Structures are given as structure tokens and as C-alpha cells.
Amino acid sequence: MTQFSRLLALTLLSFPCLLPALANAADADPHPQIGIETSVGNIVVELDANKAPATVTNILRYVDEGFYDGTIFHRVIRNFMIQGGGFTADYQKKPTHPPIQNEADNGLKNLRGTVAMARTSNPHSATAQFFINTVDNPHLDFHGTSQPTWGYAVFGRVVSGMEVVEQINGLPTGSGGPFRRDVPRQQVIINKVKRLTTP
């Protein structure tokens, strides 16, 4: 037994609570799935932890905390995307964890059915909000490290329920809460978001 092995064994004996965490890390799924249960149907998203590790970790943190439960899709633009995960049904913006580093340079593209992080004009301002592309949106991809060309980080794709996404994308929109436009007149509530695969 090497010195490192002896040290590891002693550590585990002293802190047996580390064992489940180590087992989970060893068995981590690079493509975990989450289920988005909405008021108009369910959507299943496969995450890409290989290409967007920080973003997936961030999303799963919010999922595990139940952050998305009771939020809405508050921005819908036909033939573009649907955006949600930040506002309650009465249009209150939920407090979030600090922003994360933008991983748009990971090689993933904003193609129809992919899921990406929403943000402000600051490339590194994404927190919890996400959007689902309903068409190919190459102008949202990474094109360079300057502010206007950084792009929007794709971290997963819809593997089931794209018809629900299309249904939401086709809803009539108008003003709502603090927003002057692009709010679905039929409110779409995200009832629950949960892991479908073991961490």
C-alpha cells in the first residue's frame, strides 16, 4: 500500500460521511436528464456536463433547491425561443446565486431544441434563467471573446416534449407584469423541475 493509499484509507475511516460523496462523484452521469413539468405538458432535457460542466452544476443546484418550481415562461418569441426560470407567477423576480462564467465557447451550437443560459449584455451574468431555441439561432453562438460576440452558453437539449415547446412558442403574447411585450397571454407555469437520473 502506497503512502497516498494509506492516507486515503485513514481519511475515509475518520470521515465515513465522505464515502457517499466520493461514490456519487465516481458514478457521475455526464448526461443527466431533468424533467420540466409545466402547466401545458412535460419537457425532458438532457444536460451535457462534459461540454458545459460549470453551467450544468449551476442548473442542477437550482433544480435540487426547488428554485424553478412555480416559476413561469415569461418571454416567448415565435420562431426564436422560449425563456423562463426566473419569475414567479405574479412576476416577482426570484433572488439567485452569483452569476457564472459563460461557457459559450464549448463548441455547442444554438440549434433548434437546444437549451442555453439567458443573460444580460454582460457575457458573464447568467444565473438561473434559461431559454429553449425553437429554431437554429447561429447568431447566438460563440464568435469571439469580445462582449457582443461571446454568445449564449448551450448546456443541453430537449430529448422529449418538443411538441410542448412548440405549443408554448405558438401562444399569443402581449404585456404582463413589468414586461411590455412577449409575455404569453396564457400563463405557462413551471410546476416542478426534477432530476430524472441519479446524480
pLDDT tens digits for range 101-116:
999 999 999 999 999 9
pLDDT at 142: 98
Residue 198: pLDDT band (50, 70, 90) is low
Mean pLDDT of the residues in the chain: 89
pLDDT digits (tens, 9 = 90+) for 132-177: 999 999 999 999 998 889 999 999 999 999 999 999 999 999 999 9
pLDDT higher for 9 or 41? 41
Position 187, amino acid: Q
Q: What is the DSSP letter of 8?
A: H
Residue 14: pLDDT band (50, 70, 90) is very low
- The whole-angstrom separation of Cα 197 and Cα 167 is 26
